[in-house]
Amino acid sequence: MRLLALIAGLVFATPALGVDDLDRILGQGVLRAGVCLTADPVAFHDTTGAPRGFDVDVAQLLADQLGVQLEIVEVTVPTRVPDLLSGAIDVIICNLTANAERAKLINFSFPYLRTGLRLLVRRGGGIDRIDDLGPETPIVVHRSTTGEALAIDRAPDA
C-alpha cells in the first residue's frame, strides 16, 4: 500500500502530469526520471559510469510498478525544475525541498526521504552552530538550494 501511495505521489508530482501524461508514459513504455547523480550515496555514477543509488532505486521501483522501462536523465540543481517544466523528463526523483516558490510551478509528492542541513566545520575551530558564524566567515553552499537560503537568512554576513 505504501509503495502504491509513493508511486501515485511521484507520478502526479509534476506541473501537469495527469491521466493524459500517464497514458503517454504507458503508451510509450518509458518513464523519463530526472535524477541528480552527484549525491553519493543517494545518487551517483558507479565505477562503470552507470547510475546507482537510492534515488535510482526509487525510480526503478516506480517504472516497475507502471510496467515501463526506466530512462534515467541526469539533471542538476539548476536544470531539474526547468527540465520537468519543458517536458524533457516526466518526474524529478532527486533532492528537492518543497517550498512555496517551487509549489507555484510544480506539485510535490509526499517525501520519500527526509534529511537535514548540517554545518561541516573543522574540529576545534570554534564553530558549533550557525550562530557562531561571524562577519566574513567563509562558507560554501550550492547556489539556489535550501542551504543557500538558510545561510543568507541565518548568517548573512558570513
Q: Report the C-alpha gap between 150 and 125 in whole angstroms.
A: 21
Q: Report the C-alpha gap between 132 and 73 in whole angstroms.
A: 40
What is the reported pLDDT for 5?
46
Residue 14: pLDDT over 80: no
Higher-confidence position of 109 and 74: 74
**What's the N-to-C CA distance of the chain in angstroms?**
46
Would you call 35 helix, strand, or coil by DSSP?
strand
Contact 91, 35 (CB under 8 A): no
Q: What is the pTM of this model?
A: 0.69
Higher-confidence position of 2 and 132: 132
